[in-house]
Amino acid sequence: MPETERASVRTFQHSEGLRAVLDRIGDAEPHAWRLDGEVASLMVYAARRYAALARKHGLDPWEAAAFAFEAMRTASARRADDPWAIVTRAVQITCIAEERARGLLCSVHQARRPRYSVFHDAERFSDRENALVDYHPAFRVEAPDAGASAETAAVESAMEDAIALFALVGWPADTARGGVEYVCARLADASSRPAAFELLRRDHTACALLDVPQTAWRAMLRALLGCPDPAQASTAAGRGILLRLLVGESLESLLHDDRVLAGLLDNVPCRRP
């Protein structure tokens, strides 16, 4: 390996060295990632760094390097205390999602969501010892539970209204949808809203995936889940917009809540080139 390439690798091994490279490329012209001479060396190092992780999930090292490339382009990686930690976590999550997507025969986007990832990998009936007739009850059409269907419809309606509220005050549509779906997925597994709030408040992975600063992420949590202070549990600020929508409050009513709107308007995440 040439001496210049060895020096680059040594620089990339440290988070501050990676930050320096990302800052330099991020502040350069829009095509800097394609034209900068150090990018190729950085990607070679990323492929080597994540080779074992890629093989663990049945992927090629260069696929892991591509995931790392996408993570490095986010502003959160540049701002993180440890850029390599953010990149590594993003690569790990994407590798897991890629593996699950292949097994579930679905998109990577769906494989990231708990409502799909909880299922086992797809199987062929011909791969099992039992005959197809043994599985006949599984194909029986059951009458849907009207109560469960109504509850599911109410939750989905509340989520869509919450997404619309964020979009109306200026949040990017994809950030709003991704954030609301991420919070709702974690909320379904939590024992309570305050517990979900505390868990999500420390979830740095969400900031990396959504590419939003911590201040915007906390503002989103306060708006969706409400203030976790027990003294405010019965107030509008303590309930959060998801619960308020579920109990019948309208989107129009929320748009007249100055406290909710001020918190979201003051923390609209900025789009970076």
* More reliable by pLDDT, 142 or 17: 17
Q: For residues 120 and 222, give the distance between their C-alpha atoms in angstroms, rounded to a whole number.
A: 34
Same domain membership, residue 110 and residue 11: yes
Same domain membership, residue 112 and residue 159: no
Task: Tell me what pLDDT residue 273 has.
Answer: 44
* Tokens 């330099």, residue located: 24
Query: Does 243 fall in a domain?
Result: yes
Domain that holds residue 254: 146-265
- The structure tokens listed for 215 are 């201040």
Query: Does 95 fall in a domain?
Result: yes
pLDDT category at 259 given cuts 50, 70, 90 is confident
Same domain membership, residue 249 and residue 168: yes
| 185, burial (CB in 10 Å: exposed 0-12, middle 13-18, buried 19+) | middle
Task: Tell me what pLDDT residue 186 has.
Answer: 84
CA distances from 259 to 19, 216, 220, 263, 264 (A): 37, 15, 13, 6, 9
* Tokens 């549509």, residue located: 173
Q: For residues 78 and 82, give the distance between their C-alpha atoms in angstroms, rounded to a whole number.
A: 9
The residue out of 97, 117, 137 marking a domain boundary is 117
For residue 78, how far is the Cα from the chain centroid?
A: 18
Task: Tell me what pLDDT residue 128 has.
Answer: 61
Task: Tell me what pLDDT residue 117 has.
Answer: 64
Q: For residues 174 and 114, give the distance between their C-alpha atoms in angstroms, rounded to a whole number.
A: 19
Task: Tell me what pLDDT residue 55 has.
Answer: 93
First to last CA, the chain: 34
| pTM to 2 decimal places | 0.46
* More reliable by pLDDT, 162 or 193: 162
pLDDT (average), residues 244-265: 87
pLDDT (average), residues 136-147: 55
Task: Tell me what pLDDT residue 164 has.
Answer: 92
Query: Does 103 fall in a domain?
Result: yes
The residue out of 67, 100, 117 marking a domain boundary is 117
Query: Does 136 fall in a domain?
Result: no
Q: Which residues contact 75 (CB under 8 A, 6 or more apart)?
A: 26, 211, 272
Residue 39 has pLDDT above 90, yes or no: no
The per-residue pLDDT for range 177-203, each reduced to its tens digit, is 998 998 888 888 877 888 888 888 888
Residue 268 has pLDDT above 80, yes or no: yes
pLDDT category at 6 given cuts 50, 70, 90 is low
